[in-house]
Structure 1
Amino acid sequence: MKSHFFAYISRMRFIQRWALMRNTAPENVQEHSHQVAVLAHALAVIHNEKFGGCVDPGAVTAAALYHDASEILTGDMPTPIKYDNPTIQSAYKEVEAVAERKLLELLPPELRGVYKPILTPRDPEILRLVKAADKLSAYIKCVEELKAGNLEFREAAAQTRQIVEGYGLPEVAYFLDTFMDSFSLTLDQLKSPGDPQESCGERKA
């Protein structure tokens, strides 16, 4: 059986995010999905190692990597519209569910059992961590745009930070306290004290 599944997945790179806002660095869904997977894995590891959890980091990472796969068929709906009222939000969730089923049906039957819990996870622990990583990725995007001088993201940064903190998750609080400040630094500021003192942008002759 021939399958178009992965050809569709590869097209995530053509779907742009933050469509209603001016971006200094455009972000596509494939880039976002990779970052969410990295963050979700980190939150799962922190959850286990710091707070006594026992979630599978691999399962969390896989779910995060595919968490926006339905947007290949639906496109990315801007957040202010998606969450404008319960009717729109509910209708969009139904559209997402249909898109996820269509993607699953693109796979050979013998693979669908493996990909179903990845494309449509039901484990509340996995869903919780992926949701937090998704919003954390959005906050990082806002911080990086502000660092570039783009005030278009000022209110979005404040609102998103409030949402992230509002989850009340200890692993998220740990990430914010331990790692978040670094995203506001320049490359030179990220250098360790023992690194050579020339600018990171310099090249030796």
Structure 2
Amino acid sequence: MSNHLYALLYRLRFTPRWSGTYCIHTEDVAQHSHFVSLIAHALCVIKKKIYNEDVDVAKVITLALYHDSSDAILTHVIAPVKRHESVKISFQKLKGIANNEITRMVPEKMVSEYLAIFQEADEKTMNIVGIADQIDAYCKAKIEVNKGNNDFYQIYEELEKEIQNLAIQQPCVRYFLENFLPSFFEKRLTYRYL
């Protein structure tokens, strides 16, 4: 019997994000998941090495990689829709159903590992991934605005407020913003080739 999980997840590279919004640089869910994972890893390292916090880096990275897996079934739904009060609870249930379907696509002996990703993530792990998700959206919006795309201006302003509030609450976010984001938004990256 064939196990369809990775064939399904491979479709995330064909699942566009930001539907209904003009993008100068298109983005798919696989790209987004990659960058969320990178940012989540950075936040974990900052928490551990700068603030001496205990964090399970492997658990965070794994959840970050899989955090939008349900989009392979549901497609990508933009944040204002899935966060709207009239939809929020129903969408979470729908996402749970999709994740259960995904979990059933692996051999029985592997199911518990995937259940741990989709159903057993602790609040601290989910929080780090959620913050990384917002930072990635903020970076995307800033890039689009810097390229003159006014469709992202309101998105950027809203995300900047959220990110600044997170920076007040979470020292690791403030550290990330101060040490990594300034060069991210420069018009020209300066680095030396080997």
With structure 2 as the length reference, what TM-score do the two structures score? 0.94
Give ranges in structure 1 of 5+ residues lacking alignment.
197-205
**In the alignment, structure 1 residue 175 sits paired with structure 2 residue 154:** no
> Does 147-156 or 41-50 show the bigger shift?
147-156
Matches of 2:17 and 2:180, distance apart in 1: 24
Q: Aligned in 2, Cα 1:121/1:142: closer, same or farther, shift over 3 Å? A: farther
1:114 positional shift: 1.4
Q: How does 1:20-39 map to 2 (within 5 A)?
A: 20-39=20-39
Q: Give the letter aligned to residue 71 of structure 1.
A: D
Query: Structure 1, residues 10-52: CA drift from partner, whole Å, max 9, x if none?
Result: 0001110001210000100000000000000110110111112
- Aligned residue for 1:136? 135
**In the alignment, structure 1 residue 146 sits paired with structure 2 residue 145:** yes
From the CA coordinates, give the structure whose radius of gyration is larger. Answer: 1
Q: Give the letter aligned to residue 177 of structure 1.
A: E
Q: How does 1:50-199 map to 2 (within 5 A)?
A: 50-84=50-84, 86-167=85-166, 168-186=169-187, 189-192=188-191, 195=192
Query: Structure 1, residues 102-137: CA drift from partner, whole Å, max 9, x if none?
Result: 000111111111122223342111101000000000
- Aligned residue for 1:46? 46
Query: Which aligned segments of 4 or more residues in structure 1 are displaced greater than 6 angstroms?
Result: none
Matches of 2:57 and 2:29, distance apart in 1: 22
Q: Tell me, yes or no, if the aligned pair for 1:69 and 1:119 is still in contact at 8 Å.
A: no
Q: Aligned in 2, Cα 1:121/1:134: closer, same or farther, shift over 3 Å? A: farther
Q: Give the letter aligned to residue 70 of structure 2.
A: S
SS in 2 for 1:87: coil
Matches of 1:134 and 1:180, distance apart in 2: 15
With structure 1 as the length reference, what TM-score do the two structures score? 0.89
Q: Tell me, yes or no, if the aligned pair for 1:121 and 1:127 is still in contact at 8 Å.
A: no
Q: Tell me, yes or no, if the aligned pair for 1:136 and 1:164 is still in contact at 8 Å.
A: yes
Q: Tell me, yes or no, if the aligned pair for 1:143 and 1:183 is still in contact at 8 Å.
A: no
Q: Aligned in 2, Cα 1:90/1:112: closer, same or farther, shift over 3 Å? A: same
Matches of 2:86 and 2:152, distance apart in 1: 27
User: In percent, how many aligned pairs have the same letter?
Assistant: 29
Matches of 1:182 and 1:57, distance apart in 2: 25
Matches of 1:154 and 1:2, distance apart in 2: 45
Matches of 1:29 and 1:140, distance apart in 2: 15
1:55 positional shift: 0.7
